[in-house]
Amino acid sequence: MAKVIKIKKGLNIRLQGQAEKILETAPRSEEYALKPPDFHGLFPKMMVKEGDRVKAGTPLFFDKYNEKVVFTAPVSGTYKELVRGAKRRILEVKITPDADTEHHDFKIGSLGDMDRQEVIDKMLESGLWPMIRQRPYSVIAKPDDKPKAIFVSGFNTAPLAPDFDFIVKGQEDQFQKGLDALAKLTDGDVNLSIDAENTQSNAIRNAKGVKVHQFSGPHPAGNIGVQIHHINPINKGDIVWYVDFQDVIIIGRFFEKGIYDPSKIIALTGSEVLNPRYYRVATGAKISDITRDNIRQEEEVNKRFISGDALTGAKVESSGFLGFYDNQVTVIPEGDKPEFMGWLIPSPEKFSVSRTFFSFLMPWKKYRLDTNIRSGERPFVITGIYEKVLPMEIMPMQLIKSIMINDIDMMEKLGIYEVAPEDFALCEFVCPSKIEMQTIIREGLDTMQREFS
């Protein structure tokens, strides 16, 4: 327990707009949506018709390739419509909520009496299963697999990430119950990682029935992939499962009350938010509920709304919906204005990991970064910078190149099973050639998945 895994490589990007530790209750949304694109590789098949009444926990659709996995309504109400995108891909499944949420009763007995299969069945039935994800590939776990271990990260180091200590307050029992449920799913360990210095909550630090690992260091120390790599790395043929921190609480709530209640506490963050705070919302809530009247008003500057953090989140409309796995909403300025000689002028407002700007002289300063790419895409030129932000025994540039040339053998040897797009988010951030590394990693994972399924 005393051993601290020290992460040395990495980078904390200092953004403006950290959420204050004040919890607000968001107004009830006028609509909720489940977004199939949140689940990579999902091919949704609808189970309800427009106008159907649904309760919280009623199945809406299932995965064509994984039929046992159903996705259920986060609130009760009326199934309103589908929003489709290019090639008729389903983007949003919208629900108009009732005034009061009516929950489907899943008739849960005592968790202690249930065996592994019963727990899995209940989770599948209630729509909790998509919260269980697996490595390799970073997709929803297959209920028939037996993972060698399960991982939960008890802290988050992403830019402006929410504080799990604050979130768990008042839900400590549910968190523990969720961990107990996870322990039923594997013969191996349930591993919970904590921040050696900053995790104070007793419920996290001294969680029972799990192996607690202490980490310290900059982002991506809080990334599950980095933690798995240092605790029990994935080799070819291994499967591990991982669950998001808040999803553990939701799972615990389910086994406590027998209802699917996916309400969570999210942080509203970013330089464009007037009062960055925490809000209690349900999964699939409309982002405008919490951003309304809380965004800096300037005519000149367009805003980027992100469900998730600024490195890995999904771009959404200001009227868009919260993603299934996301614990924060980030609002930053769009960088859609050209800048005169921008590459030459070392403005103190610019942040760079390299010492060609002045940001390295001001380690206290917080930045209002925008979404400008700064230049077009180039071939790899600079070497040796990606390794500095990837705390894994992996050669990032060589792995990316092996994916680019579709060399499956090489990808495997260089460790593609261990990584997910989010682990390369910092590499993508620092890349002077502006190569879209997260997209490339996802393509590589897709290739491997196709090859072996």
Q: Which of residues 382-401 bind another protein (CB under 8 A)?
A: 382-385, 387, 393, 395, 397-398
Q: Applying CB under 8 A, what is the total number of residues that bind another protein?
A: 81
DSSP letters along 87-121, please? GG-EEEEEEEEPSS--BPP-----GGG--HHHHHH
d(CA 57, CA 106): 9
Shortest distance, position 290 Cβ to another protein, whole Å: 19
417 lines the binding site for another protein (CB under 8 A): no
Among 37, 41, 59, 432, binds another protein (CB under 8 A): 432
DSSP state of 342: T
Phi, psi of 195 (to 5 degrees): -80, 120
Question: Are the C-beta atoms of residues 136 and 289 closer than 8 Å to each other?
Answer: no
Question: Are the C-beta atoms of residues 111 and 258 closer than 8 Å to each other?
Answer: no
d(CA 326, CA 268): 11
The alpha carbon of residue 83 and the mean position of all alpha carbons in its chain are separated, in whole angstroms, by 23
Q: Site residues for another protein, window 165-194 (CB under 8 A)?
A: 188-189
C-beta of 63 vs 309, nearer to another protein: 309
> Which H/E stretch holds residue 146?
none
Shortest distance, position 149 Cβ to another protein, whole Å: 6
C-beta of 229 vs 253, nearer to another protein: 229
Shortest distance, position 392 Cβ to another protein, whole Å: 11
Kindly give the residue spans of alpha helices, DSSP state H, lying in 78-233: 116-126, 164-168, 172-183, 202-205, 224-231
Shortest distance, position 287 Cβ to another protein, whole Å: 15
Site string for another protein, 1-30 (x = CB under 8 A): ------------x-x---------------
334 lines the binding site for another protein (CB under 8 A): yes
340 lines the binding site for another protein (CB under 8 A): yes
d(CA 332, CA 306): 8
Site string for another protein, 214-243 (x = CB under 8 A): ------------------xx-xxxx-----
Among 140, 183, 285, 431, binds another protein (CB under 8 A): 431
Site string for another protein, 349-388 (x = CB under 8 A): -xxxxxxxx-x---------xxxxxxxxxxxxxxxxx-x-
Which two tokens mark 336? 């859609």
91 lines the binding site for another protein (CB under 8 A): no
The CA-based angle 165-171-176, given to 5 degrees, is: 90
116 lines the binding site for another protein (CB under 8 A): no
C-beta of 249 vs 430, nearer to another protein: 430
Q: Site residues for another protein, window 267-326 (CB under 8 A)?
A: 304, 306, 310-313, 315
Question: Are the C-beta atoms of residues 423 and 442 closer than 8 Å to each other?
Answer: no
Which two tokens mark 395? 């050669």
332 lines the binding site for another protein (CB under 8 A): yes
